Amino acid sequence: MCAQSTEFAQALRDAGLRVTHQRMTVMAILKDSVDHPSADELFERARKVDGAVSFATVYRTLSALEEAGLVRKLTFESDPARFEITPAAEHDHLVDVDTGEMIELASEDINRLRRALVDDLGYEIVAQTTLIRVRKKPAP
């Protein structure tokens, strides 16, 4: 068993979930994804790994992983929900309005400013998701 598989199995056990092939497959796909796939995209990728996986299994697996805090569901306006492994550090997302590409924007400066602004108002952050829609600037 590779280190990544061992890490996933332990994360599932720590979350009180059974270690199943489907859960391991979904977590591996998410970990290896450079994008933030939708449930449909995850299903397509999972079918390439295991042709017996059903959409219902992928959907139930995502739900269980999200409930356990191992996966984060990203919902932005009317776009389909997208998924990522729950990050170690908060980050924002840029979405290219022309291509649909989603880019992670990790900045401790932004996180520090966000915490300070919320703290000044007498609150603490429970969860946050920021989406910034962008478009490439035309070449000069």
Multiple choice CATH, 3-85, 3.30.420.40, 1.10.10.10, 1.10.3720.10, 3.30.200.20 = 1.10.10.10
CB atoms within 10 A of CB 130: 13
pTM of the model: 0.72
Q: How many residues does the chain have?
A: 140
Specify the pLDDT at position 48. 94
Q: What is the pLDDT of residues 22-65, one digit of tens each?
A: 888 999 999 898 888 999 999 999 999 989 899 999 999 999 99
Specify the pLDDT at position 137. 93
What's the CA gap between 8 and 29, in Å, rounded? 12
Percent of the residues in the chain that have a pLDDT greater than 90, as a whole number: 37
Q: What is the pLDDT of residues 110-135, one digit of tens each?
A: 889 999 999 999 999 887 778 888 99
Specify the pLDDT at position 3. 58
Multiple choice CATH, 92-134, 1.10.3720.10, 3.40.50.410, 3.30.1490.190, 2.40.420.20 = 3.30.1490.190
